[in-house]
Amino acid sequence: MIIGINNYVLYGQRLTIWFTCQDLNQMNYSDSERIWTPVEHWQEVVARCKFDDDRLKEATTLGRVFRLEGSWVKAIEYSDIEIDGTDIEVSFYVKPVFPISRKEARAKLFDERRKKLRIELV
């Protein structure tokens, strides 16, 4: 099930979408009520590349989800950009990504199916 859309790129007639998904058949998720992440848990990450390196934009796109030190994190906001000759150093904050509870995931899935079928509950 798709939980959220992180980013998209439209290039010519090609649309690429990055999204966060969760397998509802997996049972190893803990049912936690961690809906938001306090600012104290944010980390600052630094990416440094040449100015014309395509990886720089990919690595520093806000909303991107990636593994950092064994945990999944999501890029939240930029904190600093420095230019040193032909190098660009981008600093940004990331927050941990937690799976949603199975109950909430199933409720979202049912709600989306109901919307598609235009079913009204009486």
pLDDT, tens only, 50-87? 877 887 777 778 888 888 888 889 998 888 888 888 88
In a domain, 24, yes or no: no
In a domain, 92, yes or no: yes
92, 78 contact by CB (below 8 A): yes
Residue-wise pLDDT tens digits, 12-62: 777 777 777 777 776 665 555 555 566 677 889 898 888 778 877 777 788
Q: Which residue has the higher pLDDT, 102 or 8?
A: 102
- Host domain of residue 103: 31-117
Total domain count, the chain: 1
Q: Is the pTM of this model over 0.75?
A: no
In a domain, 45, yes or no: yes
AA identity, residue 23: D
In a domain, 19, yes or no: no
Q: Which residue has the higher pLDDT, 116 or 12?
A: 116
Question: Running DSSP on this structure, what letter comes out for residue 99?
Answer: P
In a domain, 25, yes or no: no
In a domain, 44, yes or no: yes
pLDDT at 120: 63
In a domain, 11, yes or no: no
In a domain, 14, yes or no: no
d(CA 65, CA 7): 10
